[in-house]
């Protein structure tokens, strides 16, 4: 079982940012997702986010929405997500689940944390859960030694950054853009400012996602952030060329995250 902290420490020792890759469980199939994730890891991804398919992905752009919809049509359940985490965790990579709050709450907060821990998962990203509403989640994750990842936005005030960071114990997820996920040609300069402001209130690693799609963007972000998160670009690569395309994209991004 590889921890989040050890993955970031390894990247730092190699003078680079950690490369974090996202893929929904069940895309393009349950077994296909594991095969593609294995290729991503072979290409150099340090931390894997396994998406838990949800019917109302409000924060996701069209690429992830379509991938999640296919996963749901394939019949992917939370049990498949947990199984995917168990299989991915054997690859020697820090394994997280990224999920909207409603599926976890309906499944059972404590049960989800317990089963993920038993499967070798080390963290959960909850993009629509705020610290103020997370009391039960904090208790369950602490009891099962699961790291929590909350999000900050470009518009977050300094006080909001501190509130989010204080509730987080994995890494802070900083959104590079306002709006939904999806590959973008450019990211703008405001993200470096929000990372700097977040550093002022926490010693945790800070990773940047939402819109990162190229090695050039990854390189830019790696100069000021501890991690670079890529999702939609991996889905697009897999749609075009399967696991081999995912492996090549990972290699390209891994070369980009150097300092």
Whole-Å CA distances, 161 to 78, 132, 181, 192, 212: 31, 13, 20, 14, 22
Strand order from edge to edge, sheet including 47-51: 147-149, 123-125, 94-98, 47-51, 18-24, 227-230, 206-209, 172-175, 151-152
Angle between helices 232-256 and 62-73 (to 10 degrees): 120
Q: Which of 14, 31, 46, 60 is catalytic?
A: 60
- The answer to whether residues 78 and 39 touch, using CB atoms and an 8 Å cutoff, is no
* Phi/psi of residue 161, nearest 5 degrees: -60, -45
Whole-Å CA distances, 124 to 57, 109, 142, 245: 16, 12, 12, 26
- Does residue 73 carry a catalytic annotation? no
182 sits in the region (left: phi over 0; alpha: psi -120 to 50; else beta) called left
Give the angle subtended at the CA of 45 by the CAs of 81 and 89, to the nearest 5°.
40
- Does residue 49 carry a catalytic annotation? yes
Q: Which of 46, 49, 80, 226 is catalytic?
A: 49
Supply the residues annotated as catalytic.
49, 60
């Amino acid at each position: 079982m590889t921890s989040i902290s050890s993955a970031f420490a390894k990247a730092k020792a190699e003078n680079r940012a950690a490369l974090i890759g996202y893929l929904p469980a069940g895309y393009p199939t349950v077994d296909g997702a594991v095969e593609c994730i294995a290729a991503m890891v072979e290409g150099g991804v340090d931390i894997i986010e396994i998406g838990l398919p949800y019917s109302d992905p409000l924060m996701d752009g069209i690429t992830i929405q379509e991938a999640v919809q296919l996963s749901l049509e394939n019949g992917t359940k939370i049990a498949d997500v947990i199984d995917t985490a168990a299989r991915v965790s054997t690859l020697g990579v820090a394994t997280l689940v990224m999920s909207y709050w409603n599926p976890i709450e309906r499944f059972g907060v404590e049960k989800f944390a317990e089963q993920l821990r038993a499967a070798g998962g080390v963290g959960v990203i909850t993009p629509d859960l705020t610290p103020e509403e997370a009391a039960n989640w904090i208790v369950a994750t602490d009891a099962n030694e699961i790291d929590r990842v909350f999000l900050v936005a470009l518009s977050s005030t300094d006080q909001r950054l501190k509130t989010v960071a204080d509730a987080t114990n994995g890494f802070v997820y900083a959104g590079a853009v306002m709006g939904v996920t999806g590959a973008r040609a450019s990211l703008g300069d405001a993200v470096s400012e929000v990372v700097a402001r977040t550093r002022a209130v926490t010693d945790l690693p800070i990773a940047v996602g939402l819109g990162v799609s190229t090695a050039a963007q990854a390189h830019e972000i790696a100069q000021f952030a501890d991690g670079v998160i890529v999702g939609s670009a991996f889905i697009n690569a897999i749609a075009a060329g399967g696991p081999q395309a995912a492996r090549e994209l990972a290699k390209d991004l891994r070369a980009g995250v150097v300092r």
